[in-house]
Chains A and B, each alone.
Chain A
Amino acid sequence: MEKLLDSLSQIERTIIPHLNKNVDEIVDKTGLDKTTVLRALTFLESKGLIKIEQKHSKVIEAGVNGTYYKKNHLPERNLLIAIENNNNKTLNEIKEKVNLSDNEFKAALGVLKKKLLISLENGKLKIIAQKEEYSKKFPEELILEKTPLNQDTLSEVEKAAVESLKNRKNIIEIIEKKDISFQVTEKGEGISGKHINLDLIEEVTPELIKEGVKNKRFRRYDFGVKIPSIHGGKKHFVNQSIEQGKKIWLELGFKEMIGDYTVNAFWNFDALFTPQDHPVREMQDTFFIKDVEGKMPEEKIVSMVKKAHEHGVDKSLGWRYNWNLQESKKVMLRTHTTCLSSKKLAQLKIEDLPVKFFSVSKVFRNETLDWKHGFEFNQAEGIVIDPKGNFRNLIGYLKEFAKKMGHDQIRIQPAYFPYTEPSLEGSIWDGERKEWVEVLAAGIFRPEVTIPLLGTSLPVLAWGPGFDRLMIEIHKIKDLRELYKNDLNYLREHNIQIK
């Protein structure tokens, strides 16, 4: 109990002597504002001293005009009195006698006609009801007098009156109110109503440090209560994963390639031996950009690529069709980061070999946007240009790469891509779901790719893990749109990636 008393804040202590009263009375007695009192009550509740009950109710209160009418009658009463005093006069004559605005006059006229108290005949206003009837207070007047009043207690007649007042400007307002009451618990009985005279230190201040705290006690903090959370600065979770991926490549001795997201079809497709009628090159799969045209690289490369497609290089048969330069000049958002590799190959000097490059970056597909489709992806890509490189090396790199991602088991199987041969797909073991998940695409670039770009046929080992697939696993995402939704609550609460 002593600990409990020590943990009471100044305000709680102020309230405790008045716990035998209701909330409004406490506000009155203590001179605290209601919000402060309510907050203190929730603190007392969390300490188990009281139990709070909330009731929601709707209260009818007089609005701005309503407050005025409450003192000076509703317009319809004023009009009625004016007609009574000047029976059988024209509209304009009455209007001059009564102090009402145009809108008030019209409304009042409508109300009285509806109540069948007056008539308008040949332009003249006349009372048609009996005196005892019209001198009685209207239900609307009664409502206004009674405000504020609880909506739940209305009779049918009163309800109708409220409805008609609600439709008029600022006569009444309906306000939602939370009625808060509380009961002292068994635990609270001991201290309820008592005056607690404790001199506790609320806050450590420079003065206090100077004076010293001998023989004084600190108020104990109650850490059981809910306190507001703080939000730190943080990297977007997708970028956290990208950083992690980049780290693996750097540790394996790869240099980063960067480049434009917009590229011409030459680098994205033609240089990678993808025939011009390949379905991936159609508008429904790829984002082409209006009204721009790509510039081709040096003629030597273009003519070699053309030759590779039309009838092959180095004894290759080629795809055997008429290669179209215009098709190559189309500008598009890159569909894979392999276009960075094709550009890089065209810049390389043989004497620099062996070299290793990587990139982790955005690629785009023309897709709809729903829970399992998106139009932006992250792709990782690595290439090794080593005159001695071979298929066993490629598998060796993949194993090492997968290991660094935390996967000891990797399974490889044949696959097909237009620009690699041999090609393979690598899967990692998903221990939770007990199945192989394809995440790696790899292969050795075909001579039809390397000869035009490098000038010679050299083994270029290439692989690219589909990054978003891994990201979805890591961040347990169920809807692809969540990756770029930027719900700040989610970003603030989302744990950081440790790996």
Chain B
Amino acid sequence: MTNIIFSKKEFEKHLKITPQIQEKITLFGTPLENITQENIEIEVFPNRPDLISLEGFMRSFKKFIGKEPGLKRYKLKKPEKSHKVHVDKSVNETRPHIACAIIKKLNLTQDKLKDIINMQEKLTLTMGRNRKKMAIGIYPLDKLSFPITYTSKEPNEIKYQPLGADRELSANEILMLHPTGRKYEHLLKNSKKYPILIDSNKQIISMPPIINSELSGRVEVKTTDLFIECTGTDKITVEKALIIIATSLAEIGGTIHQIEIIGDQKIDAPPLTKVSDLNGARFLDARSVPHTKVGGFQTLRHEKYNTPNLSTQKTKVSLSNINKLLGLNLNESQISQFLAKMGHDYKKGIAEIASWRIDVLHEVDLIEDIAIAYGYNNFNPEMPNISTSGEESKESIIKRKISEILIGLEMLEISTYHLIKQDEIQNYAVKDALELLNSKNEYKFLRPNLLIPMMRIIFENKDVEYPQKLFEIGRVFSKNSQKENGIEEKDNLIISISPANATQIKKHVDYIFKMLNIDYSIKEINIPYLIDGRTCSILLNNKQIGYFGEVHPTTLKKQGIQMPVALAEISLEEIYNSVN
């Protein structure tokens, strides 16, 4: 989820921010987060990156409030003769996909320029997964000479002056010294070759996804013509991102000019088993071209095509499915009207969807659009009259009953974290501890029992009035290769009294089992942190399900506890099975 901040002044050049408009913004599916003197902040969900720029937002939102409904179409100029990007097959190893466009006749202002840079950043962050999946480069057109080559080279063959540096740097210097290089170094670290864009003068203009060259320059307010490239690891993301930027720039008055992409490209989408004739024509097209296997894994195809490709997507949407899913009774003309409010065209059961929309995978996505156009606040809630009876799980009932028994014994329930700390693993000599990967806090292991957290809580409350009679019912974890995920989970009960001896705790255990009407037996055992001769295992149906005993003074001292503690820990699994 991304929050976008628009300048109120720029926003109001399109629409006045009235209370009605504020409500509509939220009902459009872009929750209004905040309005200040200068700015208006909205949240854009990840399925609608086309709303990230003010122009993109206005394009859709105005239709939603009834202005110029239906699918918007842009004029697209065919590529000029030299406007080609040659793709070398070496990029298939690192960053296989590229899509480019030229935007001309822009009339930028400081605010508009800021919005473009914002859009570039937000798109690379969200759609581009912080440049990993897709990154965007924008250049003043007049600094470049075409055709451009997208290729990759070994790091020691790459040397250029990156933006912001005062001299030429080698690729590795950029990754080690340049702030942007350091930030994104991890994206290239494991590649043998780094991707680069070279213009016809053999000048490196960029090393995606890291940084442009100083030579290719910065976009300024006076810049009117732009060259835009999107590179990445996912073809669809790269092409959609380009469309979103190009059409947003067309919204502020630019004209879109295509670039011809030529080269052998990796096909990374899985081969189709079934081709729906209504799916996006672009993808259908690309997949049906014969391709060759390389190295047993990758498939390359030679192709020539123009980007951006603004072909629309056509998706079937049935009136009965709409009404069934929404619980409404809409007719054809209403459907057409609602889809138009969401920027789609509709004819005889088929919706035509704009090329910048990435979120329409299935008919249901259009049905949601219809629901939004209808107005979420206009739905009449209906509680269906189906009779089902509520049912608490047996486990929950037993756990609740046990805690009632213990509360009757004046015991206080605690609730502790399911994770424990490194030093606790050592202090209690936990074997086969289940460790978490990269925990951000000091709790790094799944707890194998409730004793460890209980002792921690007793220590933390060592200055609180005694006696302390505590219990907890909770989940514990241990390794077990027999289980679905190699982990066995059990619900355990722990009761602890301080100060108390083993006899006192046994009285409590006796009482619990008596109340549950379960017979149990005991057997002396030896547990390292308890006192030998004052510790017994608890057996049910000849299976050990727990123990009770007095904590050894050495353990207490190590834990910083100054009062005697007696406790019992019992697994509830066998009890679940024994209670009818």
- Residues on A facing B (Cβ under 8 Å): 231-236, 238-239, 243, 246, 249-258, 260-264, 277, 279, 283-284, 287-295, 310-312, 314-323, 331, 333, 354-356, 362, 364, 366-369, 375-376, 386, 388-393, 395-400, 411-416, 421-425, 444, 446-448, 459, 483-484, 486-489, 491-492
Contact indicator A416/B47 (Cβ below 8 Å): yes
- Which residues of chain A come closer than 8 Å to B364, judged between CB atoms? 421-422, 444, 446-447
Contact count A vs B, C-beta below 8 Å: 285
Interface of B is mostly: loop
Known: A390-B324, A413-B26, A421-B364. A236 touches B415 (CB 8 A): yes
Known: A289-B436, A355-B388, A416-B45. A376 touches B361 (CB 8 A): no
Interface of A is mostly: mixed
Contact indicator B376/A396 (Cβ below 8 Å): no
- CA of A392 to CA of B276 in the docked complex: distance in angstroms? 31
A-B contact pairs, 9 of them (CB 8 A): A294-B484, A312-B362, A320-B269, A321-B234, A331-B487, A355-B388, A369-B442, A421-B362, A447-B362
- CA of A5 to CA of B236 in the docked complex: distance in angstroms? 94
- Which residues of chain A come closer than 8 Å to B48, judged between CB atoms? 416
Contact indicator B325/A459 (Cβ below 8 Å): yes
Is B12 in the interface zone, CB < 8 Å from A?
A: no
Q: Which of B315, B367, B383 contacts A396 (CB 8 A)?
A: B383
The proximity string for B residues 384-420 relative to A, scoring 1 for CB distances below 8 Å and 0 otherwise, is: 1011111111011000100100111111111111110
Interface centre among A263, A398, A413 (most CB of B within 10 A): A413
- Which residues of chain A come closer than 8 Å to B272, judged between CB atoms? 311
Contact indicator B441/A368 (Cβ below 8 Å): yes
With both chains docked as a complex, state the minimum distance between the C-beta of A92 and any C-beta of chain B, in angstroms: 44
With both chains docked as a complex, state the minimum distance between the C-beta of B364 and any C-beta of chain A, in angstroms: 4
- Which residues of chain B come closer than 8 Å to A292, judged between CB atoms? 434, 479, 485-487
Which residues 159-207 in B have Cβ within 8 Å of A in the complex? Answer: none
- Which residues of chain B come closer than 8 Å to A251, judged between CB atoms? 390
- CA of A253 to CA of B413 in the docked complex: distance in angstroms? 29
With both chains docked as a complex, state the minimum distance between the C-beta of B309 and any C-beta of chain A, in angstroms: 16
Is B446 in the interface zone, CB < 8 Å from A?
A: yes
Known: A233-B406, A250-B391, A484-B415. A399 touches B325 (CB 8 A): no
Which residue of A is nearest B458, CB measured? A488
- Which residues of chain A come closer than 8 Å to B377, judged between CB atoms? 411-412
Contact indicator B379/A391 (Cβ below 8 Å): yes
- CA of A448 to CA of B419 in the docked complex: distance in angstroms? 34
Which residues 266-292 in B have Cβ within 8 Å of A in the complex? Answer: 268-270, 272-274, 276, 278-280, 283
- CA of A320 to CA of B279 in the docked complex: distance in angstroms? 12
- Which residues of chain B come closer than 8 Å to A254, judged between CB atoms? 388, 390-391
Contact indicator B367/A233 (Cβ below 8 Å): no
Contact indicator A234/B486 (Cβ below 8 Å): no
List 5 additional A-B contacts (Cβ < 8 Å) besides A415-B45, A491-B414.
A376-B418, A390-B327, A392-B328, A416-B48, A484-B416
- Which residues of chain A come closer than 8 Å to B330, judged between CB atoms? none
Which residue of A is nearest B315, CB measured? A315
Contact indicator A322/B413 (Cβ below 8 Å): no
Which residue of A is nearest B45, CB measured? A416
- CA of A243 to CA of B413 in the docked complex: distance in angstroms? 14
Contact indicator B400/A322 (Cβ below 8 Å): no
With both chains docked as a complex, state the minimum distance between the C-beta of B269 and any C-beta of chain A, in angstroms: 5
The proximity string for B residues 481-521 relative to A, scoring 1 for CB distances below 8 Å and 0 otherwise, is: 00011110100000000000000000000000000000000
